[in-house]
Amino acid sequence: RTVIQRAGRLTRPAGRLTLTVSASRFVRNKLLHMLDALRPAA
């Protein structure tokens, strides 16, 4: 939960949903790792 709260924010530039990730390398890497783990379920 903490990783997601610090990850950044969802924006919708030009109508496309985008996750703007924090500058923190640790947080970015944790979030990308979690997203990769979820990819097979999508």
pLDDT at 30: 83
Tens of pLDDT, residues 4-25: 566 678 889 899 998 887 777 8
Cβ proximity of 22 and 6 under 8 Å: yes
Q: pTM for this structure?
A: 0.49
The count of domains in the chain is 1
Range of the domain at 32: 2-41
Q: What's the whole-number mean pLDDT along residues 33-41?
A: 87
In sequence order, what are the beta bridge partners of 19? 10
Rg (the chain; Cα; Å): 11
Number of residues written out for the chain: 42
pLDDT at 42: 66
